[in-house]
Amino acid sequence: MVKNTKELIREGRTALGIEFGSTRIKAILVDENNQPIASGAHDWENRYENGIWTYSPEDIWTGVRHCYQEMAVDVKNRYGVTLRTIGAIGFSAMMHGYMVFDKAGELLVPFRTWRNNNAAPAAEKLTELFGYHIPARWSVAHLYQAILNGEEHVKDIAFQTTLEGYVHWKLTGEKVIGIGEASGMFPIDIATKQYNEGMLAKFDALVADKNLPFRLKDILPKILVAGEEAGRLTEEGARLLDPSGQLQAGIPFCPPEGDAGTGMVATNSVRPRTGNVSAGTSVFAMIVLEKELSKSYDAIDLVTTPVGDLVGMVHCNNCTSDLNAWVDLFGEFAALAGLELPKWKLYDLLYYNSENGDKDCGGLLAYNYVSNEHITEVEEGRPLFVRTSESRMNLANFMRAHLFAALGALKVGCDIMLKEEGVKLDAITGHGGLFKTERVGQSYLAAAINAPVTVMKTAGEGGAWGIAILANYVVTRTAGQGLAEYLDERVFKGQEGVTLAPDPENVAGFEAFAERYVKGLPIVRKAVDCMR
């Protein structure tokens, strides 16, 4: 095995994916069958400077070089080979944000990440103008907010891109972006798989009185779809990524993509009527749509898969944080009683006990809002537990209510697509901390969305693995092989997973809880007013 892998590495029959997450940059090197063979990582943190969440160019390049070096050292240690060439490379990052450059290629203002919400006024105006939901974290919202603010740098903008688009440009010289990431910069026309021309015209007309020296289309990166070659590593780029001088130029790149797109790839959910739910500190669902929604919804962001199919995305700020706090509280009691329970055991005991509760949680109600929740229009975090004197208060119902609450806001958003819009969902893949205890979170998600939920037994390597697969797709797919077929045949074939169909009684119970949840929202909004 090691001997064969050594030859693959020497011959460049590999692919490298590097993803910039919020707290970690990760590199995954895979073989021609998309199996991880080496990895590297670099921890980093955003800075809050002058009212902006940012990472500096020094942070970006120091991080990506160290991450690459760690991966190359891992190759050397495992296989005794010095990494000199790679079959294909891809970069991914947290989506959206604001990076603008002048004609000389210099960054005009510090990188504004997706985390900044200072573009909300601009997003609201653009949503009204386009009749299309524009979240405050999208790149066009940041640009328009800078225009509204009268910021001096706007007149000098020659190019706007995102984090992975920036890194890709510096390594290849190509100002391009994957369509999934592009859909978080500006609305996409699904028919043409390009920026929406009508909305581009509306934007240019909106800012005509500002006498800007550019049209929006002229400063945005060129859109590419998965499978298209997006440039090659230049000599300058090779030294930028690997200052040791070992890495050779000429390596092909796939289109740079956002973390939403790489998450879809890593969970094999790129076909229409499939989706994935990531449930941890926050929770989001992405469902690949068969057609456009009938109208715009504030609760639903519209993005695309890496091949340009429309995706409805419901993103909630809160999921397991309040649930974790309650588990910690029970852990304190266990310790006080002299019980030494490891954390995993504590979670398993409490989660499995929730299955003994009433299907509707016995009339109990919980809100997990540690921070604000835009889906349900709650402006600040106020975690609450509420019951009537007639509610059936016991431990099983208590834990069940908090587990249901972790998916409460998500259900509100998903119900818009699944019930109001009639979106069809054949299967969804769950990943993240909520699903670590076998079966429990998975079955509750299946009940919430009334669809089968699959959790893979062999978890992938996340977004870095997803972008490595997209890089490999450029060089190893067969003629005419679509991304969905490639994933089925070259990546996920033979991988084990557990699929749970929704239990009708659990579905009915979650529906009863959800009705109570929506009716009770004024309680938590009032708590925001009363507890400041």
Sign of the CA dihedral with 43 first, then 47, 53, and 55 last: negative
Farthest CA pair distance, the chain: 72
As a residue count, the chain comes to 532
Which phi and psi angles does 386 have, rounded to 5°? -135, 145
Q: Residue ranges of the alpha helices (H) in 374-492?
A: 395-406, 408-415, 440-449, 462-476, 483-486
Instruction: Retrieve residue 200's tokens.
Output: 């581009």
Torsion-angle region of 462 (φ positive above 0: left; ψ -120 to 50: alpha; else: beta)? left
Identify the burial level of 333 via C-beta atoms within 10 angstroms of its C-beta, where 0-12 means exposed, 13-18 middle and 19 or more buried.
Answer: exposed
Alpha carbons 222 and 217: distance in angstroms, whole number: 9
Tens of pLDDT along the chain (532 residues)?
A: 566 999 999 999 999 999 998 889 999 999 999 999 999 999 999 999 999 999 999 999 999 999 999 999 999 999 999 999 999 999 999 888 999 999 999 999 999 998 887 899 999 999 999 999 999 989 999 999 999 999 999 999 999 999 999 999 999 999 999 999 999 999 999 999 999 999 999 999 999 999 999 999 999 999 999 999 999 999 999 999 999 999 999 999 999 999 899 989 999 999 999 999 988 888 999 999 999 999 999 999 999 999 999 999 999 989 999 999 999 999 999 999 999 999 999 999 999 999 999 999 999 999 999 998 989 999 899 999 999 999 999 999 999 999 999 999 999 999 999 999 999 998 899 988 899 899 999 999 999 999 999 998 654 457 899 999 999 999 999 989 999 999 999 999 888 789 999 999 999 999 999 999 999 999 999 999 999 8
Residue 298: other Cβ atoms inside 10 A: 14
Alpha carbons 435 and 61: distance in angstroms, whole number: 34
Residue 223 confidence (pLDDT): 98
Residue 463 confidence (pLDDT): 87
Alpha carbons 419 and 434: distance in angstroms, whole number: 25
CB 298 within 8 A of CB 126: no
Instruction: Retrieve residue 361's tokens.
Output: 């949680």
Instruction: Retrieve residue 438's tokens.
Output: 């076998």
Cβ contacts of 383 within 8 Å, gap of 6 or more: 322, 325, 366, 367, 368, 369, 370
Instruction: Retrieve residue 466's tokens.
Output: 């997803």
Instruction: Retrieve residue 16's tokens.
Output: 């490298």
Alpha carbons 105 and 161: distance in angstroms, whole number: 12
Domain ranges of the chain: 2-259, 321-406+505-530
Instruction: Retrieve residue 249's tokens.
Output: 């130029």
Cα→Cα distances 524→3, 163, 251, 379, Å: 61, 37, 54, 10
Q: Residue 24: beta bridge partners?
A: 43
Which phi and psi angles does 371 have, rounded to 5°? -130, 180
Identify the burial level of 291 via C-beta atoms within 10 angstroms of its C-beta, where 0-12 means exposed, 13-18 middle and 19 or more buried.
Answer: exposed
343-354 vs 395-406: helix axis angle to the nearest 10?
A: 100
Alpha carbons 513 and 387: distance in angstroms, whole number: 12
Residue 468 confidence (pLDDT): 97
Q: Residue 26: beta bridge partners?
A: 19, 41
What is the topology classification, in CATH, of domain 2-259?
Nucleotidyltransferase; domain 5 (3.30.420)
Pairing of strands 257-258, 88-93: parallel
Which phi and psi angles does 18 have, rounded to 5°? -125, 125
Among residues 359, 378, 400, 404, the alpha carbon closest in space to that of 506 is found at 359
Cβ contacts of 375 within 8 Å, gap of 6 or more: 299, 314, 316, 409, 410, 412, 413
3-state class (DSSP) for residue 184: coil
